[in-house]
Amino acid sequence: MTSRFRRLACGPRRESKGTCKGNRVSGLGGIENVVLRRTRQLVPGGTVGKRRAARRRAYWTTLGIGRVQKVVGYYMARCFLGRNFMTRTVSPAFQSCRDARLDGLRDWLNGLSIGRPLRVDTLAPVSSDASSRRYFRLSEGNAAETGNGTLIAVDAPPPEKCREFAAIAKLLEEAGVHAPHVLAQDVERGFMLLTDLGTTAYIDVLDKNSARTLMREAIDALLRWQRATRPAVLPPFDAAFLHREMELMPEWFIGKHYAMPVTEAQRQTLDATFALLADNALGQPQVFMHRDFMPRNLMVTRPNPGVLDFQDAVLGPISYDLASLLRDAFISWEEAFELDCVAYYWEHARKAGLPVDADFGEFYRQFEWMGLQRHIKILGLFARLHYRDGKPRYLADLPRFMGYARKVAARYRPLTPFAKLLDELEGRAAHVAYTF
């Protein structure tokens, strides 16, 4: 980058308000400083409100220096500062205008031979997720053909788990679960080509009319996956793993989100609660565990459902994936419907010979405590996604998980101290609840 454009993008490098320093543009420095100065010229004598409005328009159009040269349109700002330039946060690597990984993915696809031409020119973004993985859809076949099928290209920069994804996709296929088939992969570069499970996710169509059928089909798929369990195939969801996940809560949810130091009394409560939940998980039968078996990762397909995002699968507690499915970040259920689903799973698991507890009440307690361990993890994880990774959209789901956690903690006597801790965090008075 030339010194001229560095000054344009970041403002003068000085130790004062409005400086570009490290990988963050602060105050009225950098692009916003440039735009503000130019809007004062374009709106001479204008009010602060008019200047602010002009400045906002300048992000999305282009602004002239000397009213002649094009300087800071949206795409240049995004190019220099990354996706979050409106919040003045620079992407970690100060992203180049040219997406080198996307170019590499195109080159890799152009060099593939899968028995049918790929229309790489149709490559279009599908989605991204909480990690650095990106997904693209492209057509297959000749351009002149109609009714071409589509495939999914994956950009998963190392150390994302391409090798694990391919291995677990094969396990799912062998278990009779509908998962993407890996057509080609380059694990060193982090590229994959997959079959396409379509565009309709469970989360998009679940309602009171479809929920019973769709959720039972999901539970049937989960049972097939668990019945395929074999030892020494997947890594264990062990005590260290469990505690590492739960420690995200005190570090990121309490320490960062609430900006509160964890007191000695709170630390004792957390340690005791984490020990209870880890013992609950480790005391259950251990089976193949997806880890994110939730409506957003299930697709409406034939056969139904299609299962995605399974590269983190482990050998873990039998109730974990059921808790993921029914106590999700993005959708909640009436307790009567939830109980019906848990009972359906429990009955069919027993018929399938899976080692669920013979007492439904005890199994339901295991399910609830397993869900609480997951919710504790996600409270910390979603806070980390915002404060560390610049993904604020996950904050909107924190109240749902606080609701899940408070409900379970208030229901069981051994978890009462943790319920009080959550009350302290939210500044809410403790209240009487049923305990078991």
The predicted-structure confidence for 384-421, as pLDDT tens digits, reads as follows 999 999 999 999 989 999 999 999 999 999 999 999 99
Tokens of 60: 């999305």
What residues have CB less than 8 Å from 62, skipping those under 6 apart?
70, 71, 72, 73
**123 shares a domain with 75:** no
Q: Are 155 and 191 in contact (CB under 8 A)?
A: yes
- Looking at residue 213, its amino acid is T
Using alpha carbons, list the distances in angstroms from residue 249 to 83, 252, 313, 397, 405.
27, 6, 22, 15, 12
Going by their DSSP bridges, the two strands 118-128 and 134-140 should be labelled as antiparallel
The domain boundary, picked from 175, 195, 215, lies at: 195
Average pLDDT score, the chain = 81
Please provide residue 82's backbone torsions phi and psi, each rounded to the nearest 5 degrees: 85, -175
The domain boundary, picked from 87, 117, 149, lies at: 87
**329 shares a domain with 262:** yes
What's the CA gap between 286 and 37, in Å, rounded?
63
**62 shares a domain with 171:** no
**283 shares a domain with 223:** yes
What's 305-322 look like in SS3? CEECCCCCCEEEECCHHH
What are the pLDDT digits (tens) for 135-160? 999 998 865 565 569 999 999 998 88
pLDDT attached to residue 17: 37
Please give the distance of CA 27 from its chain centroid, rounded to a whole number.
30
Closest listed residue to residue 127, CA positions, set 189, 181, 201: 201
**149 shares a domain with 41:** no
pLDDT attached to residue 132: 82
CATH number of the domain to which 106 belongs: 3.30.200.20
- Looking at residue 196, its amino acid is D
Q: Are 376 and 287 in contact (CB under 8 A)?
A: no
**213 shares a domain with 362:** yes
**190 shares a domain with 211:** no
* Domain assignment of residue 170, yes or no: yes
* Domain assignment of residue 433, yes or no: no
How many DSSP H helices and E strands does the chain contain?
Answer: 16, 13
**58 shares a domain with 132:** no
* Domain assignment of residue 41, yes or no: yes
Count of all residues that appear for the chain in the document: 436
* Domain assignment of residue 92, yes or no: no
Please give the distance of CA 154 from its chain centroid, rounded to a whole number.
16
Cis link prior to 235 (omega < 30° from 0)? no
Q: What is the CA radius of gyration of the chain?
A: 26
pLDDT attached to residue 130: 56
* Domain assignment of residue 431, yes or no: no
Residue 39 φ/ψ region, left for φ over 0, alpha for ψ in the -120 to 50 degree band, beta for the rest = alpha
**370 shares a domain with 221:** yes
Place of tokens 């300087």: 71
**236 shares a domain with 214:** yes
CATH number of the domain to which 237 belongs: 3.90.1200.10
Q: Are 110 and 102 in contact (CB under 8 A)?
A: no
**234 shares a domain with 168:** no
Q: Which domain holds residue 82?
A: 3-87
The domain boundary, picked from 64, 87, 110, lies at: 87
Kindly report the pTM of this predicted structure: 0.75
* Domain assignment of residue 39, yes or no: yes
* Domain assignment of residue 95, yes or no: no
Task: For the chain, list residues with pLDDT below 50.
Answer: 1-46, 48, 51, 55-56, 58-98, 429-435
Using alpha carbons, list the distances in angstroms from residue 73 to 79, 177, 301.
10, 48, 42
Our count of domains for the chain comes to 3
**179 shares a domain with 206:** no
* Domain assignment of residue 330, yes or no: yes
